[in-house]
Structure 1
Amino acid sequence: MILVGVIFFGLLALGMPVGFILGVAGVVGILDMGGGRFLTMVPDRFFAGLDLFPFLAMPFFILAGEIMNKTGITDQIVKFADSLVGWLRGGMAHTNFAASIMFAGITGAATAEAAAFGNTLVPAMVKSGYTKPFSCAVVAAGSIIGPTIPPSTLMIIYGSIMGVSIAGMFAAGILPGLLIGAACMGMIAIFGKRWNLPKSDRRPSLRLIATTFRGSFLALLLPVFILGSILGGWATPTEAAAIAVAYALFLGAAVYRKLSWPDLYHTLVRTTMITGVIFVIIASATILGWWMTYNQIPQLIAKGFLSISSNPAVIIGMIVVLLLFIGLFMDINATLIIMAPVLGPLTLAIGMDPIHAGIVIVLALNISLMTPPVGACLFVLASVCKEKIENITRSLWPFILAEVTVLLLVAYWPAVTLSVPRALGF
């Protein structure tokens, strides 16, 4: 057990890709456990980790988002959001969060949203008088709304490996996602004057709202199709994801006429690359997860937590702190696959609803997408916008605090998470 830990953290410190680290650590653990005769189990565990039908939804949702970005459909959503809140102080920052909420219903990938808005909103904000670090921080803070409001790849992974209703998870993510957007927009409204954020001279216009809404109406229907079909019980998440791709293709090629064959090729390549990375991590983490289960590590950790305190409030706090800490250093997909089976029995032991526990875990990991040193959205924005990560982080802390506050609210007030799925019968 100690050997596996040394190898895992040693390779992590050396900068090896996390998918390979998980695989190597898992294989070493299996060798230490039973010698060469156990190695025949590695290929079986590797492919068994991916042999889940709901996982097919992930590449479809990612592809739908890539098509929306490539064809400029995302820009239509941004224009509509800007017509609603762009006239406020810090209007373009408000626009980012409003657009993030709308865009969240299309794709569950935060990095895709960070890349899209980093290419469009950040230059526009800088041109309007915002500093580049602050502009990048706003986009990073808004990007985690994507995998919180459904569809969400993390929710698909959690629901698949833990046997929790994915549709129920999707329903439970709606209110927390809206609260994150509201909390960050509240920060801008409260501190906008102190931060000297620009204020537009443009007054709100019903004509402009109507015009931009008409231009974005077909794009805004996509989240309605996705969520309506899943929550209404007419389609599984995988089937809804395939419908989303078909609809995005129709909009890009037939309605907006901005999707060429080369564009389609590039979106397919990018989707394959993103999906490939996620699937390697999932498969490799399955090997390590099997080793942990064999050695009853989840039970030992749960027993250790309960030995500190049996108070559910204290244990929930420890779970949140643990996930935020691990998220500072590890990929969120790997963290979820390793920690979900560990924390699942613990949350059941203290009486948490499985859907509530899943949302708390997913939201905590989503926040780690924008925390240094390995926050994926930070790296995307640093690359796209040519800005240093440390500069972005300095402007990001107020939003991190706001989102952690929402996380604690969700963790300690189950009704925030469970009211919508309960109303829908989950």
Structure 2
Amino acid sequence: MTILILFGSFILLMLLGLPIGIALGSASILTILSLPFLSLEFFTLGLISGLNSFTLLAVILFTLAGNLMSQGGISDRLLKVAYAFFGNTKGGLGTVTIIACLFFAAISGTGSATVAAIGLAMIPAMVKNGYDKPYAGAMVATAGGLGVMIPPSVVMIVYAVTAGVSVTSMFIAGIVPGLVVAAILIIYNLFQSKQFDSKKQHFDTSWGAKLTAINDAKLSLLMPILVLGGIYSGVVTPTESAAVAAVFGFVLSVFVYKELSIKRVPKIILESALLVSSVLIIVGASVAFGRIMALENVPTIIANFVINLTENKILILLSINLLLLIVGTFLETLAAIVILTPILLPVVVQLNVDPVHFGIVMIVNLAIGFVTPPLGANLFMAAQVGNIKYEHLSRAVIPWIIAMLFALMLITFIPTISLLFLS
């Protein structure tokens, strides 16, 4: 009965259109009120303990750093580097776009910021050079998912907090899978590029141009090295590295490149705070929600139920992937992480799946949800920045989703891809 109240009220509140964090908290409160042995202090303590996390500071700081970078001229310089190296290759503009998303993902930590920063520059450029507009928008929307796969990633931090694993391990594990996804997207674009580039623009790709672009962007390129190198070397924690990224992004954008007015910084801070606040509400409310599930032994019951249905590891992982793909079409990524991790992690642990590897599998699944209609967040962002009709974009993204599914299968069933640098 308790579980019926918990999940029933949560689903009902979601259908009524309440924000996910509010729906989680309200469902938890309703369930607590129905239990005589619990009081609202249980919810309050869960909310406080969920937010009282040093690691979660990294979410706030990386979000701020990403906003500063996207508006401070850093993305433009990264694009020039990509143009200098890949601009005149077959399918060059598509390759430039995906590589630029890869670069920006390594400093932004979010998918939507990557789509906005790269899409504003690259969608018009691709269309000008003969690319179909929905195809270009679908490419940017899909490649924007690299923002949560390549470290530093806000989603990785939230998974690490929820699953009780190391943030540093998650960051290390995300490098190769992110590169694999990027490579598959580039290969797909190369096969499609023969029908585009009909008005191919010539870029200066001489070694002089390459060196000039690298020199101009050297401080931008230094940022991921500084942030990730500090983490992997043990000099700073992931949270401290987020602070380094925010300060470095501020100094670079305001005082070095001088493309961001210091008067705009308070507005950026406010925008970042509003963006992060919804994330923190979800995380805090999910703790009480998860504790009620733990009291009712829900994760163990579900794990035993799945294992009793079949002990075939491949079938179980395929089923979990299917569940995550479906959930990703209608549930916000961070909410899916904090709700489903306590339920699914015990299942895969019984199958001897490494929790870090499973975290990468979850994140890739939910990144596909970014571009899966009807509620793909990256699709909406790409449609907005590229001035593309959503229904046209939804059709154009289907082949890209298939390419992502191929990458997902590789990452799911070849754990070495995620655990290569952790073994």
CA deviation vs aligned residue, 1:142-168 (integer Å, no higher than 9, x gap): 111111110011111111122211111
Q: Larger deviation: 165-174 or 309-318? A: 309-318
Q: Which residue of 1 aligns with 2:415?
A: 414
Q: Which residue of 2 aligns with 1:138?
A: 139
Q: Which residue of 1 aligns with 2:21?
A: 19
5+ unaligned residues in a row in structure 1: which ranges?
A: none
Corresponding residue SS for 1:106: helix
Q: Which residue of 1 aligns with 2:319?
A: 318
5+ unaligned residues in a row in structure 2: which ranges?
A: none
Query: Aligned pair 1:121/2:122, yes or no?
Result: yes
Q: Larger deviation: 95-104 or 385-394? A: 385-394
In 2: Cα distance, 1:7 partner to 1:385 partner: 38
The 8 Å contact of residues 91 and 198 in structure 1, kept in 2 or not, is answered as no
Q: 1:315 to 1:161 in 2, by over 3 A?
A: same
Q: Which residue of 2 aligns with 1:371?
A: 372
TM-score normalized by structure 2?
0.95
Letter in structure 1 aligned against 2:17: G
CA deviation vs aligned residue, 1:205-237 (integer Å, no higher than 9, x gap): 222211111111110000001110101111100
Deviation, 1:51, is 1.2
Residue correspondence of structure 1 range 70-81 to structure 2 within 5 A:
70-81=71-82
CA deviation vs aligned residue, 1:369-392 (integer Å, no higher than 9, x gap): 221222221222233333332211
Letter in structure 2 aligned against 1:54: T
Deviation, 1:331, is 0.8
Q: Larger deviation: 161-170 or 85-94? A: 85-94
Q: Larger deviation: 136-145 or 124-133? A: 124-133
Q: Which residue of 1 aligns with 2:211?
A: 210
Q: Larger deviation: 285-294 or 225-234? A: 285-294
Residue correspondence of structure 1 range 137-286 to structure 2 within 5 A:
137-194=138-195, 199-202=200-203, 204-286=205-287
In 2: Cα distance, 1:70 partner to 1:334 partner: 27
Deviation, 1:403, is 1.2
Q: 1:343 to 1:253 in 2, by over 3 A?
A: same
CA deviation vs aligned residue, 1:145-201 (integer Å, no higher than 9, x gap): 111110011111111122211111100100000111100010011122246765444
In 1: Cα distance, 2:190 partner to 2:217 partner: 26
Q: Which residue of 2 aligns with 1:10?
A: 12
CA deviation vs aligned residue, 1:224-262 (integer Å, no higher than 9, x gap): 011101011111000011111111122112211122122
In 2: Cα distance, 1:380 partner to 1:388 partner: 11
In 1: Cα distance, 2:28 partner to 2:238 partner: 30
CA deviation vs aligned residue, 1:313-352 (integer Å, no higher than 9, x gap): 2211111111111111111111100111111111110011
Q: Which residue of 2 aligns with 1:294?
A: 295
Deviation, 1:312, is 1.5
Letter in structure 1 aligned against 2:149: T
The 8 Å contact of residues 89 and 200 in structure 1, kept in 2 or not, is answered as no
The 8 Å contact of residues 131 and 196 in structure 2, kept in 1 or not, is answered as no
The 8 Å contact of residues 90 and 197 in structure 1, kept in 2 or not, is answered as no
Q: 1:4 to 1:246 in 2, by over 3 A?
A: same
In 1: Cα distance, 2:63 partner to 2:203 partner: 36
The 8 Å contact of residues 84 and 203 in structure 2, kept in 1 or not, is answered as no
The 8 Å contact of residues 88 and 200 in structure 1, kept in 2 or not, is answered as no
The 8 Å contact of residues 101 and 145 in structure 1, kept in 2 or not, is answered as yes
RMSD: 1.7
Residue correspondence of structure 1 range 72-111 to structure 2 within 5 A:
72-111=73-112
Corresponding residue SS for 1:192: helix
In 1: Cα distance, 2:206 partner to 2:394 partner: 35
Q: Which residue of 1 aligns with 2:65?
A: 64
The 8 Å contact of residues 88 and 199 in structure 1, kept in 2 or not, is answered as no
Q: 1:31 aligns with which of 30, 33, 43?
A: 33
Deviation, 1:203, is 6.7
Corresponding residue SS for 1:178: helix
Letter in structure 1 aligned against 2:32: I
The 8 Å contact of residues 143 and 377 in structure 1, kept in 2 or not, is answered as yes
In 1: Cα distance, 2:262 partner to 2:94 partner: 34
TM-score normalized by structure 1?
0.94
Letter in structure 2 aligned against 1:379: F
Q: Larger deviation: 23-32 or 51-60? A: 23-32
Corresponding residue SS for 2:36: helix
Deviation, 1:64, is 1.1
In 2: Cα distance, 1:196 partner to 1:243 partner: 40
The ranges of structure 1 where at least 4 consecutive aligned residues each deviate by more than 6 angstroms after the TM superposition are: none
The 8 Å contact of residues 324 and 364 in structure 1, kept in 2 or not, is answered as yes
In 1: Cα distance, 2:320 partner to 2:119 partner: 32
CA deviation vs aligned residue, 1:114-162 (integer Å, no higher than 9, x gap): 1112322222222333233222111111111111110011111111122
In 1: Cα distance, 2:261 partner to 2:164 partner: 40
CA deviation vs aligned residue, 1:379-424 (integer Å, no higher than 9, x gap): 22233333332211211111111111111111100111111222xx
Corresponding residue SS for 2:107: coil
Q: 1:414 to 1:197 in 2, by over 3 A?
A: farther
Percent identity reads 33
Corresponding residue SS for 1:130: coil
Q: Which residue of 1 aligns with 2:48?
A: 47
Q: 1:247 to 1:295 in 2, by over 3 A?
A: same
Corresponding residue SS for 1:15: coil
